[in-house]
Amino acid sequence: MNGDDSLPEGVDRRTFDGRERLATSGPTVYGEPTDGDWRLWDVGRSKLGAMLELGMGTGLDGGESVLYLGAASGTTVSHVADFAGPTYAVEFAPRPVRDLVGVAEDRENLFPLLKDARAPTSYAHVVEADLDVVVQDVATRGQAEVALRNRQFLRGDGKGRLLAAFKARSEDVTAAPETVFERLLDELEEGYEVLETTRLDRFHDDHLGVVARPK
């Protein structure tokens, strides 16, 4: 058990370089420091990590089934797989997927998918229904639309959660981030109830962390 009620089981705070920082237990992936079996979760490289560090109410307890959109080479999704249940990792670009496959070799619950998060029908036959969590970190225009299209995978009993990091500059490089975020949230509310939002600028410029559940 960790001593922080806001953190899921399997995520702890360990001392690295004299500071208490987030950590999960698992094989190293990106050269992160370790403390025994625990490895540093670098929140400067992880939007979900930043959401946890900032105390957002993600609803994560540990052991959840997860669809991760925008997995890249596996930095954050490797930490997710350390504490979650079945974790489906969607990434569009072939080169980072090669690294992601290597990460999955050490994690039997991590399933890499070379797919486009904007086209969930292409992986609907692989990903199980009624998942607990969709994590979204997709730096592309139409981020709210991506969340709406993947809403189909979330459990519909009010307990399913979308944990998204919206990047303003991916939507519009000319508009103020506040304006972009307002538009995205308005669109998101077509299919989700937004429970919490927090700016992630302390760790990630012009990003908004969002916790929502499907309507």
Known binding-site positions for S-adenosyl-L-methionine: 75-76, 91-92, 116-117, 137-140
Q: How many CA atoms lie within 13 A of 56 on its CB side?
A: 27
**Distance (Å, whole) CA 69 – CA 131:** 13
Which residue bears the tokens 């400067």?
44
Spell 166-185 as b/e; 16+ CB within 10 A means b. bbbebbeeeeebeebbeebb
Instruction: Check residue 131 and report its DSSP letter.
Output: B
Output the six-digit token pair for 31.
Answer: 């050269």
Asked if residue 133 lies in contact with residue 160, where contact means CB atoms within 8 angstroms, the answer is: yes
* Token pair 């690295």 in the structure block, residue: 16
Distance of alpha carbon 127 from the chain centroid? 16
Query: Rounded to whole angstroms, how far apart are CA atoms 11 and 1?
Result: 9
Tell me the binding residues: 75-76, 91-92, 116-117, 137-140
- Contact between 210 and 163 under an 8 Å Cβ cutoff? The reply is yes
Q: What is the SS3 assignment for 158?
A: coil
